[in-house]
């Protein structure tokens, strides 16, 4: 009871002291001082003689006396053990902020009152004839009212704009949310014995993004760029991303994100640590404007943004891929059934013809612009509180992506242009089937086609992908979840006979092992994955484990946008993946992954990849 009465007395004193702090001027402090003296005087007088001798032996732990009454009272309450030190610190900060606001308001009110008086004097002098003298008398009650009105105005302005409160941000700053992440990766690449030599694997991306290759030189020792298939490699890589999203009112938000990357390729923000302590580039990874209406039912986005389509795995789209263009999502729950159908549609430019194409030609060629048109329907279904699922069907149409043989084309020098040169992919990984793009005319200049056959390569297949995707999340063992993911894709535009007539790669072997056999590319892909553990890593010791299998034929999807880690990226791969995550705290975790991939078509190619990551988010 004694402690409760002491707390009640302390609260009354605190309320009185708080009222005193809000008053301006020295008189208020003097007026409130006796109450403080009455509450603390008894203790100080009784303890002075006892503590005098000890003060020379150690430093006092008492808080120094403050000119602020409230702060002294709070310190006294801590000494009496009526409140904790942490609560006292919070109350002291609040008292200092309120005192600061009061001083600022009083100061500004005085300045504005002086300015108003000066303007009044000037106005009076302007209307008075020379020699006229006026004695202006303003009653004290009017002066006080003016001061109070000005003070209220300044306080209102300070509250609205938050310029007079330490430790707070202006309103516009609180509408901006920053986020980012960092990853340090050790990556080990192993090529098992039995792979075909590297000469069986042309690097089509290096050819198409560089100078064309003279195909007449292929058996002369002057080779095109090749992919590595035999020599193990180790590398360290980092990924760093920093983004900001701002709420713009009325459903509008805008975001931007910068990221690392060894180059501008679409599927990776990894920066390989290349040595020599070189500085690295930063790329624009996200830049978008988003509009949300009807409580999230409609969501429209334009610019460069994350994948708007649901994808259970990275069979079709790599998870770091950014989409350029515009997309609209519509979703709505049916009553309270837990069933939420959704529809997604979007248009995305994947290539725009250079304004001056062909660059070195006096005659310019038509545009070869390319687009991705995508649509998806699906439903999320909360079957019961412990079982959630989502299923979707999508159709992705890549327009004008297939290569085409050019009109008859005469080349004098290597930099000359043919009219289908812009159909070569601006970026590719590995696996798709390629065809030659240039129809080079035999002339005396090229010895009737015996030399100078400078060639670029385009995709031999068109791509119209039907994608079925699903996920089931079982929460019966919460916080440990069991998640099953599955995805299937079929390139419905695939024409095996037409592709075989122009194909440059993805041929099978022969029974005797000499030469190459028929074209063996394909258009089907599927993946299954099981994940067990914590769905979110929120504290030390949280974990999850996953295992999966992937089968992706050569022309099931566009290899440029597929997973960049499995098999070192692309298609024409099959194999398993196993990995796990372990949380060190809510923002830092480690990852371990092992991926073993084998080629499906073409010469033997196997590659195993071990990744060890240290991740952080903020």
pLDDT for 460-519, tens place per residue? 999 999 999 999 999 999 899 999 999 999 999 999 999 999 999 999 876 655 557 899
Q: What is the three-class DSSP state of 593?
A: strand
Report the range of poorest mean pLDDT among 106-120, 495-509, 547-561: 106-120
**What span, in angstroms and rounded, lies between the C-alpha atoms of 574 and 526?**
10
> Is the per-residue pLDDT at 330 higher than 90?
yes
At residue 368, the pLDDT reads 87
**What span, in angstroms and rounded, lies between the C-alpha atoms of 546 and 305?**
27
Tokens of 359: 């660059």
Tell me the mean pLDDT in the region 102-118: 65
At residue 28, the pLDDT reads 40
Average pLDDT, the chain: 84
pLDDT for 172-231, tens place per residue? 778 899 999 999 999 999 999 999 998 889 999 999 999 999 988 877 778 899 999 999
Residue 461 · residue 450 · CB < 8 Å: no
> Is the per-residue pLDDT at 242 higher than 80?
yes
At residue 33, the pLDDT reads 41
* Gyration radius from the chain CA atoms: 37
Sign (positive/negative) of CA torsion 172, 173, 177, 179? positive
> Is the per-residue pLDDT at 593 higher than 60?
yes
Helix (H) or strand (E) segment spanning residue 468: strand 463-477
At residue 382, the pLDDT reads 94
Percent of the chain whose pLDDT exceeds 70: 79
Highest-scoring range by mean pLDDT, 52-61, 112-121, 473-482: 473-482
Tell me the mean pLDDT in the region 266-272: 94
| Residue bearing the bigger pLDDT, 368 or 329 | 329
Report the range of poorest mean pLDDT among 71-85, 294-308, 372-386, 414-428: 71-85
Nearest CA-CA partner of 368 in 312, 426, 444, 310: 426
At residue 147, the pLDDT reads 76
At residue 40, the pLDDT reads 40
Residue 501 · residue 513 · CB < 8 Å: no
**What span, in angstroms and rounded, lies between the C-alpha atoms of 579 and 581?**
7
Residue 69 · residue 26 · CB < 8 Å: no
At residue 47, the pLDDT reads 42
**What span, in angstroms and rounded, lies between the C-alpha atoms of 83 and 556?**
69
**What span, in angstroms and rounded, lies between the C-alpha atoms of 204 and 559?**
12
**What span, in angstroms and rounded, lies between the C-alpha atoms of 117 and 128?**
17
At residue 56, the pLDDT reads 41
Helices (H) and strands (E) in the chain, counts: 7, 21
> Is the per-residue pLDDT at 614 higher than 70?
yes
At residue 104, the pLDDT reads 65
At residue 129, the pLDDT reads 54
> Is the per-residue pLDDT at 16 higher than 60?
no
> Is the per-residue pLDDT at 576 higher than 90?
yes
Tell me the mean pLDDT in the region 368-387: 95
At residue 92, the pLDDT reads 74
Report the range of poorest mean pLDDT among 99-103, 215-219, 595-599: 99-103
Which DSSP symbol is given to 442?
P
Report the range of poorest mean pLDDT among 112-121, 521-530, 547-556: 112-121
> Does the N-terminal peptide bond of residue 358 adopt cis geometry, omega within 30 degrees of 0?
yes
Report the range of poorest mean pLDDT among 224-238, 251-265, 339-353, 501-515: 501-515
**What span, in angstroms and rounded, lies between the C-alpha atoms of 366 and 422?**
10
Torsion on CA atoms 455, 456, 461, 467, rounded to nearest 10: 160
At residue 613, the pLDDT reads 98
**What span, in angstroms and rounded, lies between the C-alpha atoms of 498 and 459?**
12
Highest-scoring range by mean pLDDT, 71-80, 351-360, 382-391: 382-391
At residue 138, the pLDDT reads 64
């Amino acid at each position: 009871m004694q402690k409760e009465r002491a707390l009640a007395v302390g609260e009354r004193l605190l309320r009185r002291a708080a009222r005193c702090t809000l008053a301006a001027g020295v008189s208020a402090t003097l007026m409130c001082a006796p109450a403080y003296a009455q509450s603390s005087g008894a203790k100080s007088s009784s303890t002075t003689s006892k503590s005098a001798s000890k003060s020379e032996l150690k430093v006092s732990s008492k808080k120094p006396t403050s000119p602020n009454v409230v702060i002294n009272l709070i310190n006294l309450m801590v000494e009496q053990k009526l409140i904790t030190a942490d609560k006292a610190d919070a109350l002291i900060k609040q008292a200092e902020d309120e005192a600061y606001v009061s001083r600022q308001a009083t100061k500004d009110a005085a300045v504005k009152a002086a300015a108003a008086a000066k303007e009044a004097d000037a106005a009076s002098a302007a209307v008075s004839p020379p020699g006229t003298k006026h004695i202006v008398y303003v009653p004290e009650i009017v002066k006080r009212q003016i001061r109070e009105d000005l003070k209220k105005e300044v306080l209102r302005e300070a509250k609205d704009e938050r310029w007079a409160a330490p430790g707070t941000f202006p309103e516009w700053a609180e509408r901006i949310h920053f986020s980012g992440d960092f990853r340090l990766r050790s990556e080990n690449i192993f090529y098992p014995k039995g792979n075909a030599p590297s000469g069986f694997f042309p690097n089509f991306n290096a050819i198409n993004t560089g100078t064309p290759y003279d195909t007449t030189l292929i058996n002369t020792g002057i080779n095109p760029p090749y992919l590595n298939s035999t020599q193990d490699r180790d590398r360290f890589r980092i990924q760093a991303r920093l983004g900001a999203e701002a709420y713009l009112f009325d459903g509008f938000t805008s975001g931007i994100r910068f990221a690392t990357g060894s180059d501008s390729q679409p599927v990776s923000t990894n920066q390989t640590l290349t040595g020599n302590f070189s500085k690295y580039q930063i790329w624009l990874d996200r830049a978008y404007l988003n509009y949300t209406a009807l409580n999230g039912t409609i969501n429209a986005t334009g610019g460069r943004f994350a994948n708007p389509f649901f994808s259970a795995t990275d069979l079709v789209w790599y998870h770091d891929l950014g989409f350029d263009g515009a997309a609209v999502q519509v979703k709505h729950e049916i009553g309270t059934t837990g069933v939420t159908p959704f529809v997604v549609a979007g248009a995305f430019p994947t290539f725009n013809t250079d304004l001056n194409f062909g660059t070195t030609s006096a005659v310019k060629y038509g545009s070869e612009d390319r687009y991705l048109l995508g649509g998806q329907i699906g439903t999320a279904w909360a079957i019961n509180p412990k079982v959630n699922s989502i299923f979707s069907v999508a159709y992705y149409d890549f327009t004008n992506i297939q290569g085409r043989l050019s009109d008859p084309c005469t080349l004098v020098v290597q930099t000359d242009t043919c009219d289908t040169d812009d159909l070569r992919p601006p970026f590719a990984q590995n696996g798709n089937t390629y065809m030659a793009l240039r129809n080079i005319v035999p002339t005396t200049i090229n010895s009737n086609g015996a030399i100078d056959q400078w060639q670029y390569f385009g995709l031999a297949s068109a791509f119209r992908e039907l994608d079925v995707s699903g996920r089931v999340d079982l929460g019966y063992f919460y916080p440990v979840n069991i998640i099953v993911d599955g995805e299937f894709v079929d390139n419905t535009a695939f024409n095996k006979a037409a592709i075989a007539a122009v194909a440059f790669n993805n041929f099978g072997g022969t029974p005797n092992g000499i030469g190459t056999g028929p074209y063996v590319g394909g258009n089907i892909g599927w993946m299954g994955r099981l994940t067990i553990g914590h769905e979110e890593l929120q504290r030390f010791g949280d974990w999850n484990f996953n295992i999966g299998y992937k089968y992706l034929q050569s022309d099931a999807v566009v290899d440029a946008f597929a997973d960049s880690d499995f098999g070192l990226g692309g298609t024409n791969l099959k194999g398993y993946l196993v990995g796990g995550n372990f949380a060190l705290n809510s923002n830092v975790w480690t990852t371990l992954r092992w991926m073993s991939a084998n080629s499906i078509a073409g010469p033997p190619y196997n590659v195993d990849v071990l990744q060890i990551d240290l991740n952080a988010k903020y």
